Amino acid sequence: MQDFDKITIEEMSKEDMLLIIRALEYTGTHTKVNDFLELRDSFIGELSSLVEVPEKDFLDFLKKETLS
């Protein structure tokens, strides 16, 4: 197995990003384990800062892109 520290954003599809975000939100909400929600927020924050847009705009973009 290759050793890695980071995965680049180019290696992940928009659909996968949105699926991860939704899975973390669902799991955090239904298990009441706040770590999942914190990880979701951190994931969204990091991704939106990479593309230099507000978090809400980034989420809206992902939702729009995955519906088309």
31 found inside a domain: yes
6 found inside a domain: no
| Maximum alpha-carbon separation in the chain | 37
% residues pLDDT > 90 (the chain): 62
pLDDT tens per residue, range 26-37: 999 999 999 999
Contacts of 63 (CB under 8 A, 6+ apart): 18
pLDDT tens per residue, range 6-61: 667 777 888 999 999 999 999 999 999 999 999 999 999 998 998 899 999 999 99
* Structural domain count, the chain: 1
27 found inside a domain: yes
Structure confidence at residue 1 (pLDDT): 54
Q: Residue 21: which domain range?
A: 13-67
36 found inside a domain: yes
